Structure 1
Amino acid sequence: MKRWLLLVIFICAFMPSVSLSDETIPVGLFSSGSLAGWEPKQFEGETTYRIEVLDNHQVLIAHSENAASGLFKETTINLKDYPYLNWRWRIDRKLPEHDEQQKAGDDYVARIYVIRSGGLLFWRTKALNYVWSSRAEKGKTWPNAFAPDNNRMISIRSSQDNTHQWYSEKRNIYNDFKDWLGEEIVEIHAIAIMTDTDNTGGEATAYYGDIYFSKE
């Protein structure tokens, strides 16, 4: 629960809005070599994040060794206008299979949070966690081991997917929140990235391409 509270406090500190383009809203323009607006947050040890060139493109590289820290960006997105989150990612190695529904196994080689802030009512903050699972099949969902009422885990990739291969993802965030909470969530207030191995004591390297919201 400590990790979740630290995240909530960090997100609620400030929630700036962004200017909108016609079709997309950029969140992480790593291909331009920029980490503008992204802030580190350390939970246990330090996952390193840096921009490097891979496959002739600048990407964000995350390396974790028995550590959990993330990058967070506060940004307000209207999900009725821009419901789709788009991103690319790949991993170099898989974590050993572990029970991700238990606190001792709550580690992911790659993870993207989409966060709706509860403001001062921090217990109302909700987050969708899109993860590269070491155990769960693609499409499986479950409550987070540390904050089950506040976090929903969704397996986007699994141990059956290839390492050293890029995958492009698109999720309808508006629909995912409605499926989970049974209510309409119009705005989200932050995006976070985390590659973490602190609970299992492992090591992982993940790569993240550009992240953006789109109308379609």
Structure 2
Amino acid sequence: MTLLPARFRLPLPAALIALLVAGCATTPREPSSWTESAWGQASRLGSGAEAEPDAQWVHQRLPGKAAVLFAPGREDGREALLAKSDSAASVLRHRVRIDPADLDRLRFSWKVPQLIADADVGRKDSDDSPVRVILAFEGDRSRFSARDAMLSELMRAVTGEEMPYATLMYVWCNKRPPGTVVTSPRTDRIRKMVLESGPGRLNQWLDYERDIRADFERAFGEAPGALVGIAIMTDSDNTRSATKAWYGPVRVTTSAPR
């Protein structure tokens, strides 16, 4: 077994473990009730999107972290998924495979009642967000920096999984303007695209349609590989605070022939 340098022999932060959207993790998972819910049934991965065998929405608990409550239901007459965090972090994820040539649109919505006062998605010690929609992509891992190669090795040692080549997160930031791309302070293989900023549009449903390829190219400066995972994440573990939000159904369309 490879002995990791001391600076890496630490629990993985939640934002890094969230990269597990790419595969089937070895950490404990709950049986899926979200796939069968009205929210799960409305969350379509698109004609032409290849789901992994037996793929479903799975609640991925993160080692050393309290779990977020994910509960399907209705909010303001919409099918919704409540995410409620009390100093917690966990991920609801779905494995897919969509080849680069077939990448098209991502549609989702969320409703956030309030921001996390001390959160900052650009800082290690306060990297929390009431809402995240996460996309994980394949790519050439031989291009990893030495640091990212070490992080990937650490993730494999802890979880049995490879770190995805690239991860794009859509987030709500307290201060940075919409359109800002924030590189994770822990690894440049995670880029966060700010969709909302500040309190101006709190407590209302907000609907989005994103061009997956264009957003990836803007965030990473290169063409995307295959999309291999989709997840939602609400976390407040770093700020030791409480937060909640609602997610509407997540839908992916592809350019593959019907």
TM-score range relative to shorter protein: 0.7 to 0.9
Cα distance in 1 for partners of 2:17, 2:129 equals 18
C-alpha deviations, 1:170-203, integer Å up to 9, x for none?
1111112222333222420000100100001111
Note if contact 1:127-1:150 (Cα within 8 Å) is conserved in structure 2: yes
Q: What's 1:19 paired with?
A: none
Q: Please state if 1:95 is matched with 2:116.
A: yes
Q: How does 1:67-82 map to 2 (within 5 A)?
A: 67-82=88-103
Note if contact 1:31-1:209 (Cα within 8 Å) is conserved in structure 2: no
Counterpart among 9, 13, 34 of residue 40 in structure 2:
34
- Of Structure 1 and Structure 2, the greater helix share is in 2
- Of Structure 1 and Structure 2, the greater strand share is in 1
Shift of 1:101: 1.3
Counterpart among 232, 237, 240 of residue 201 in structure 1:
240
Q: What's 2:70 paired with?
A: 49
User: Alignment partner of 1:210: what SS?
Assistant: coil
Note if contact 1:86-1:170 (Cα within 8 Å) is conserved in structure 2: yes
Q: Please state if 1:130 is matched with 2:136.
A: no
Cα distance in 2 for partners of 1:73, 1:119 equals 22
Shift of 1:79: 4.4
Stretch deviating more after TM superposition (74-83 or 109-118): 74-83
Q: What's 1:22 paired with?
A: none
Letter in 1 for 2:115: K
Which of structures 1 and 2 has the bigger CA Rg?
2
Cα distance in 1 for partners of 2:36, 2:114 equals 22
Q: What's 1:167 paired with?
A: 206
Shift of 1:9: 5.1
C-alpha deviations, 1:83-106, integer Å up to 9, x for none?
211111111221104432111110
Two-structure CA RMSD over aligned residues (Å): 2.7
C-alpha deviations, 1:130-169, integer Å up to 9, x for none?
00112222111111133x2210011101114322200011
Q: What's 2:45 paired with?
A: none
Stretch deviating more after TM superposition (64-73 or 124-133): 124-133
Shift of 1:118: 5.2
Q: What's 1:2 paired with?
A: 12
Cα distance in 2 for partners of 1:10, 1:186 equals 15
Consecutive unaligned residues of structure 2, counting only runs of 5 or more, are: 1-10, 26-33, 42-54, 142-151, 153-161
Q: Please state if 1:83 is matched with 2:104.
A: yes
Cα distance in 1 for partners of 2:180, 2:110 equals 19
TM-score (norm 1): 0.82
Q: Relative to structure 1, is the Cα distance of residues 7 and 101 closer, same or farther in structure 2, using a 3 angstrom cutoff?
A: closer
Q: Please state if 1:177 is matched with 2:216.
A: yes
Cα distance in 2 for partners of 1:161, 1:29 equals 32
Q: What's 2:191 paired with?
A: 152
Shift of 1:128: 0.3
Cα distance in 2 for partners of 1:149, 1:10 equals 17
Counterpart among 179, 193, 200 of residue 139 in structure 1:
179
% identical aligned pairs? 25
Aligned residues: 202
